[in-house]
Structure 1
Amino acid sequence: MRILLDENLDWRLERDLPGHSVESVPRIGWAGITNGELIRRAEGRFEVLITMDTGLRHQLNITQRNVAVIVLRARSNRLADTRPLMTRVLALLETITSGTIETV
C-alpha cells in the first residue's frame, strides 16, 4: 500500500510499516500546505494518509475522496509515543477503504 506520513509525524515510522511504500510530507516537498490541498495532492498517488491532526475529521469531508486517513492519538508526536501504535495501524491497513477516516 502507498502511505503518506504527515509532516507532524517522524519519518522513521516508515520502518514500522514493512511491506508498504511510505513517503513523508516534508520529503516530497509538501510541507506547509493546507489539509485540503494535501488530500487533493495525495489522491491518486497515495492510498492512505497517516496524521496526528485530529481536526482533519471536522475540516474536510473525504467520503468522496480516493484516499483514506488514519489519525493517531498519542501523548505526543515523538517516535516513542507513536511507534507503539504501529501494530494497530498495520492491522487497520488490511481493511481500511478510501473515503474513510479511522482513529488509532
Structure 2
Amino acid sequence: MKLLLDENLPKKLKFDFSEHEIYTVSDKGWNSKKNGELLKLMLEEEFDVLFTFDRNLQFQQNFRKYPIAVIVLNAQDNAYITLKELVPQIKEVLNKNLPTGPTEIKARA
C-alpha cells in the first residue's frame, strides 16, 4: 500500500509503517500544497492513503472527485509520542477495506 504523511505529522511516524511504501509530503517535494492540489498529485502518483492531523479536510474536499482514503488522526496534539499510541489502531484500519474519504482515528481517553 502506498501511503503519504501530511506535513502536519511528524516525519518519524513513517518508520512505524515500514511494511508499506510510505512517503512524507516533504519527501515528495509537495510542501505548502493546498489540500485539493495535494489530493490531485496523490491520484496522479497512485497513492492509496493520506494520513493527516487536519480534521477540517473532510469538510473541505469532495471525495467523489478525489477517491482517496484519508486517515484523520485525532489526538490532543500531533507530537510523535502522542501519535505513536495510535499506530496499532491505524494498522488495524489499514488491514480492512478502507472507504474513500476520511476515517477518523481518535486517541483513547
Which TM-score tier does this pair reach, normalised by the shorter chain?
A: over 0.9
Distance 1:17 1:83, change over 3 A: same
Which stretches in structure 2 are left out of the alignment for 5+ residues?
none
Q: In structure 2, what is the equivalent of residue 23 of structure 1?
A: 23
Q: In percent, how many aligned pairs have the same letter?
A: 33
Q: Using structure 2 for the length normalisation, give the TM-score.
A: 0.88
Q: Using structure 1 for the length normalisation, give the TM-score.
A: 0.92
Measured after TM superposition, the shift of residue 99 of structure 1 is 1.9
Encode CA deviations 1:42-66: one digit per residue, 9 max, x unaligned. 1142100000000000000113433
Distance 1:51 1:96, change over 3 A: farther
Q: In structure 1, what is the equivalent of residue 39 of structure 2?
A: 39
Structure 1 CA distance, aligned partners of 2:80 and 2:42? 23
Report how many residues are paired.
104
Encode CA deviations 1:1-57: one digit per residue, 9 max, x unaligned. 100000000111111113111100012110101000011111142100000000000
Task: Give the letter aligned to residue 103 of structure 2.
Answer: E
Q: In structure 2, what is the equivalent of residue 65 of structure 1?
A: 66
Q: Which structure 2 residues correspond to residues 50-61 of structure 1 after superposition, within 5 A? A: 50-61=51-62
Structure 2 CA distance, aligned partners of 1:76 and 1:102? 18
Which stretches in structure 1 are left out of the alignment for 5+ residues?
none
Please state which structure has a larger fraction of its residues in helix.
2
* SS of match in other structure, 2:78: coil
8 Å CA contact retained: 1:51, 1:71: yes
